[in-house]
Amino acid sequence: MLWQLFWTFFKIGAFTFGSGYAMIPLIEQEVVDKKKWFDKESFFDQFSLAQSAPGPFAVNTAVFVGYKMRGKLGAFVSVLGIIIPSFVIILLIAMYLSDFSENVTVISAFKGIRPAVVALIAVPCVRYFIELKKWQMPIAIAAAIAIWLLGVSPVYFIFGGSIIGIVTTYFKKP
């Protein structure tokens, strides 16, 4: 199991460009669809928690998945898997930065990757929006507009959403 955790997150870390958000479809495909370590609802809960916790999203997700599967050692192994590819790639780029920064082919490749990264980020956002309960949709839309157009800090919405979730669960009739 430890090798599976490491290898799963190593592949995700090695073959994802963009931010941690671009990794969401790959992580979901691996841990929900292929490995069946989480069901969709549990993964959605982990996704929300990983976004709310301080630190890089992909690392937080690796910690949560690894910990669920094999405790502290599983979390450690999963984190190693997700960070080693990025560390090695960044180290190589730093060593040869002058060669990369002005290479027309590399610059062109990164321009070509941008739309794919946007799609990788947009797909899980749309998918999770569709899976929201009807009463949550207007809140999500209002929060997105407030963050995007008014510059309101997302921290307020994370904190407020947590409070609403706790209150609605606490007062929910059994």
Which residues fall within 8 angstroms of residue 44, CB to CB, at 6 or more apart?
128, 131
Q: What is the rounded distance in angstroms from the CA atom of residue 74 to the CA atom of residue 22?
A: 23
- The predicted pLDDT at position 9 comes to 92
Name the CA radius of gyration of the chain, rounded. Answer: 18
The string of pLDDT tens digits covering residues 1-40 is: 899 999 999 998 887 766 667 777 888 888 899 999 988 8
- The band of 49, judged by pLDDT with boundaries at 50, 70 and 90, is confident
